[in-house]
Structure 1
Amino acid sequence: MLVADIGGTNSRIGILKDREFLNIKVYPSKEHQNVYSIIERYFSEVFLENLPEKVYLAVAGPVFEDKAKLTNLGWEVSVKELKKKFNFKEVFLVNDLYGLALGSSFLSNKDLKTLKKGKTKKKFPRVFLAPGTGLGISVLIDEGIVLPSENGHTPFCPLKKEEYAFLEYLGTLNEEKCWEKALSGKAVSLWYQFYFNQTLSPEEIFNLAKKGEEKALKIVETMLELLGRKTSELALTFLPEGGIYLTGGLIAGLKEFLAKNNFLDKFLTGYFNNPKMDFLLERFPIKLITHPYPVLLGALAILRNR
């Protein structure tokens, strides 16, 4: 089976055989015109005795009626066109956070790092929060039952004077005034522009922060507090006694900082921002996903459930 996770920044594509991922390639998404050209490139670069007849395709955008639109790339993809172009007999086209939630039962303890212990041993529901190019969110209600969402596009709710100013700044840039623009890879650069009137990439900002540069550290602290607040919002919305799971490109950039108590405290300050509800927020464990291809695990779940 061909498996692919098509994100706004990077696309991961490989082969699933005997429950093992093989020949994984990572391509910058914007080097391509569409999903089909990524698959074509992969087939041209990787020798396969026989082309796969099945494909699992997880994309960063909503999926309806066997069609998907990738929100931050503007691409469209359909089951019909995939079958026509590549002679696939079976196509499993899913939202990326749907695939992440579906495949989460294949995560082992070594694929997870606990940020906050919980007070419940229930398995469900679970919430998945993945800030990357965008801000993906889904809920695993029970085994095999997933509620995908586009919650990252809901309006950002400022609580501080500078956050109200940031919201106005987004307006001057004709940017969407949503959570995705406040908490994502792109948001790292937007906050830096807002505070310091200078444009740097998220990678440049994180590298400066690792060297102790004060302005970059301010952005890291902003991201951690907002991550905590968004996690808290989802906790109170879904009461996820199975836990809250964090992954995505932004989380990868913050991982090193979350290992240090002073930065972890910033995240927890954001999470416990409503003292009235601490008794409830304490119940839910929060875990970091460290598996390199967690979205691709959804393919294992689909094959198991057939």
Structure 2
Amino acid sequence: MINLRSLEIFYWAAYLSSFSRAAEKLNTTQPTVSQRISALEEQFGRQFINRASKPVSLTPDGQILLQHAELILRQVSKLEKEFDAQNRVRQTIRLGVSETIVQTWLSRFLETSHQRFPNIDFEITVDITSSMMAALQDGELDLTFMLGPANVEGMACHHLINYPLRFYAAPGLVPDNLLGVDQVGLRPILTYPRNAYPYSHLRELLFRMTDTRPRIFTNSSLSTIERMAIDRIGIALVAQGAFSPSLERKRLVALESEIELPPLRFFAFYLLGVGADVLEELVRIATDVAASAALSDF
């Protein structure tokens, strides 16, 4: 009799073209993936995987098995959903999140998700978009909320929310809380890392507006940017709503400015394929929570 777990392992090894990525995706080890696939090959007396190729590829028999495996696994997933079995089995979703979302509506998403899926645990990674995209493609993450969009084969991309970029400073640092071009060179701008938006866009814009090399201090931690702004080291440029507690305590003020940049656009990403039903449900929850956050924050 065919083992469903072995079919699932074969499916993801074929889908991701990698034993190691399949192991990450399924929370198992690479030797286990290899052993399970070898057992399938022995059971059928056929070779399904070309192990010598990098990335691994399927033999003609492997292509046939993949078609059957996907149909079987999708039917099993449909059956589990029909009887709500997914809500009775504890599982872990590896979620990658941009820090802006952590500072705004992640807690509301987790609370709402727990009400809908009480047996899902979240393993959360906070990182920049480029790192999370690589982890998602390698099977190290199941779902990400990060900057987009991106057109990647085999990956879903759903819009969540746009956040306007705003300048923030300690009270009294900028006269009349109005940041003009003449004020830009007086204090460094504190913002996201060089390999993330809006660094390059901001740098080019300030170059054109001032004809001088702008002073931009970058950091991957929003809390560090916030602390530096409070300490009057510079003027922060971050997503609107990210510093709400400091604004309420009057440790920072929002500035009006003639310097305008496109907003931060956040999207949900996950790999398509068998088992994506729960991820689709979670994205629907995230979309609703993000829409509610937009109404309250803006």
Q: Do they superpose with TM above 0.5?
A: no
TM superposition score normalised by structure 2: 0.25
Scaled by the length of structure 1, the TM-score of the pair is 0.25
The structure having more radius of gyration, on CA atoms, is 2
